[in-house]
Structure 1
């Protein structure tokens, strides 16, 4: 048995077990939907026409999901004016599985299968080997880390460090009896100082001068002196 129904201003030919995509309908996934506007019923060669609808005939279906359809592009252009506009639109649609058709005479045809509630988004994710999260599950997954942080006990606050003592001045340090006693003991145990550096230098023997070569004085005496240049007579000029 098949039927022609009207919904969302459109007409659809359906039979039990068909997957039907129509304009948006109210309801949650898994809800039962009944169409009362049945325009025609058919079973084999027998056809029942409505005027305008068949009285008492209904078509039942199960709502699987409500989603956005494929994007439709709207492009506008005015030639020689540089005018171009592109827009997109995605119509909201509902996906149904037809489960039964009931006629006016009491006949009813049912579908024996089980309604699969898998959405198109999940099927696309499976085909691409991706992990799919339902819209509600995404919100829960995002809220889980925050809930864990709030549930975890807070660490005890660190104790405040004791205030640092102020540094003593030089006068206070020198006036301390312990410091005075330490200085006295250091003076009594100090080693004997060595001789001053000046005395050590005086005590060190002087280096002997290197002997002159014997031929040096003789060579200096034997060397002839340069003759002085004759002076010019200015009177002759």
Structure 2
């Protein structure tokens, strides 16, 4: 049985036992995670989602957090300008091993969903902003408004 999953803006065709290098996930080595955005499940019968297959999931185990190969970006201005610049970058990746492909019942397993670090930062930001929005008005402003209305 195989599945096509979406994570980190990319799509991967996987089956049990595959090892993937995906964009960095918010998990540590040894964690069991579950990918819930499944676009297609194949095997005896093929199920194509519109856009996702309901109840399907892919479970995986995090092997390690790694860095990709270094990419070099070199810029040189021509002729009378003697400026040049070299920049390097190594992408943060997560190495995962697919353990199981579930065609149905993925929402009832209780395994933590695979989320990227950007999703984790966004959730933490939204959680911190929610109590600030519900904070009561400042006492000086409330007293001033009451004095004006009297």
Q: Secondary structure of 2:66's match?
A: strand
Offset of 1:13 from its aligned partner?
0.8
TM-score (norm 2): 0.66
Match for residue 10 of structure 2? 10
After superposition, what is the alpha-carbon deviation per residue over 1:187-231, rounded to whole angstroms, capped at 9, x for unaligned?
A: xxxxxxxxxxxxxxxxxxxxxxxxxxxxxxxxxxxxxxxxxxxxx
Post-superposition, which runs of at least 4 consecutive aligned residues in structure 1 deviate over 3 A? Answer: none
Offset of 1:43 from its aligned partner?
1.1
Show the 5 A alignment for 1:118-129. Answer: none
Rg: which structure is higher?
1
Match for residue 90 of structure 2? 90
| Change in 2 beyond 3 A, CA 1:105/1:91 | closer
Higher strand share: 2
- Structure 2: runs of 5 or more not aligned: 107-150
Match for residue 22 of structure 2? 22
Q: Distance in 1 between matches of 2:63 and 2:36?
A: 19
C-alpha RMSD of matched pairs (Å): 1.5
Say how many residue pairs are matched: 105
Q: Secondary structure of 1:79's match?
A: coil
Offset of 1:104 from its aligned partner?
2.7
User: Which structure exhibits the higher relative contact order, with contacts defined as CA atoms closer than 8 Å and separated by 6 or more residues?
Assistant: 2
After superposition, what is the alpha-carbon deviation per residue over 1:104-156, rounded to whole angstroms, capped at 9, x for unaligned?
A: 389xxxxxxxxxxxxxxxxxxxxxxxxxxxxxxxxxxxxxxxxxxxxxxxxxx
- Structure 1: runs of 5 or more not aligned: 107-237
Match for residue 47 of structure 1? 46
